[in-house]
A and B are shown apart, each in its own frame.
Chain A
């Protein structure tokens, strides 16, 4: 049994356009903040090659910055992108996960699907769900629980 977070969105552009906008540093700075009502801090650097890194730093103020470093594991333009992501919160906590993104042509647009996996403690969660707090985690609706055959 493993724990994933999955999100998908249909976007009004071709897979190539979406892939390029998603991976280009200058374009990222534009779309990442496009809906912000107040200007914040956004710094993005991208070295788009297998083994290369993308570093993003953002937040409302210098003392409340998140940092995310993604290392590219698979690059298959414009279909698929796989990275290992390490996030660092303003209080210094870190979390390393795996991000798989697919870009599929859908009608005249693109279906972009994000699957982020590897959040720690699934075994702990399984134990609590199965034996201690059955149903206690149901409130988190966006999770997709995948069960192995032997789970």
Chain B
């Protein structure tokens, strides 16, 4: 339950981060290549401080990771929020393959029309 709530909180942060067009623009820009906060701010006409706030929101949501390089902060995309959903879907794919294979083997090995004895 606690983990579920933590997960929901993470998703809430992701959705909040994506609700802003400036932040979506940052992600699109970082989809091309990593960039410093200054490089992200320049084409928008935004101040460094303003851009840092947006980057911080994206970082808190796990969508962006940043790293101090010299005097500037390098930003790049992170796939972490997607990875979690992908891991679960992969898990369920394997689970259903196991279930269907098991049912298939069960009926193939026990072809009694009244159903296999248990």
Count of chain A residues near B, Cβ 8 A: 50
Complex Cα distance, B4 from A120, in Å, reads 12
A123 touches B15 (CB 8 A): yes
Among A17, A18, A34, A96, which residue has its beta carbon within 8 angstroms of that of B105? A34
The answer to whether A7 touches B96, judged by C-beta atoms less than 8 angstroms apart, is: yes
Q: How many residues in B have their beta carbons less than 8 Å from beta carbons of A?
A: 44
A120/B3 in contact, CB under 8 A:
no
A132 in contact with B103 given A94-B3, A125-B85, A140-B86 (CB within 8 Å): no
- Please pick, from B27, B82, B91, B106, the residue contacting A34 in the complex, using a CB distance under 8 A: B106
B111 CB to nearest A CB, Å: 7
Cross-chain contact B100 with A112 (CB below 8 angstroms): yes
Interface positions, chain A 9-51, Cβ under 8 Å from B, are 9, 11-14, 17-18, 20-22, 24, 26-27, 30-35
Indicate whether A131 sits within 8 Å of B31 (C-beta atoms), given known contacts A9-B104, A21-B115, A27-B118. Answer: yes
A142 within 8 A of B: yes
* Closest chain B residue, CB of each to CB of A7: B96
Instruction: Name B71-118 residues within 8 Å CB distance of A.
Output: 77, 81-82, 84-86, 88-93, 95-109, 111, 113, 115-116, 118
Could you say which residues of chain A place their CB within 8 Å of the CB of B65? none
CB-based contact B93/A27 at 8 Å:
no
Contacts A5-B89, A27-B116 known; 16 new A-B pairs at CB < 8 A = A3-B89, A12-B111, A21-B106, A31-B99, A34-B102, A35-B98, A87-B88, A87-B92, A125-B85, A127-B27, A128-B82, A131-B27, A132-B77, A140-B86, A140-B89, A140-B90
Interface residues of A (CB under 8 A from B): 3, 5, 7, 9, 11-14, 17-18, 20-22, 24, 26-27, 30-35, 68, 86-89, 92-97, 112, 114, 116, 119-121, 123-125, 127-128, 131-133, 140, 142-143
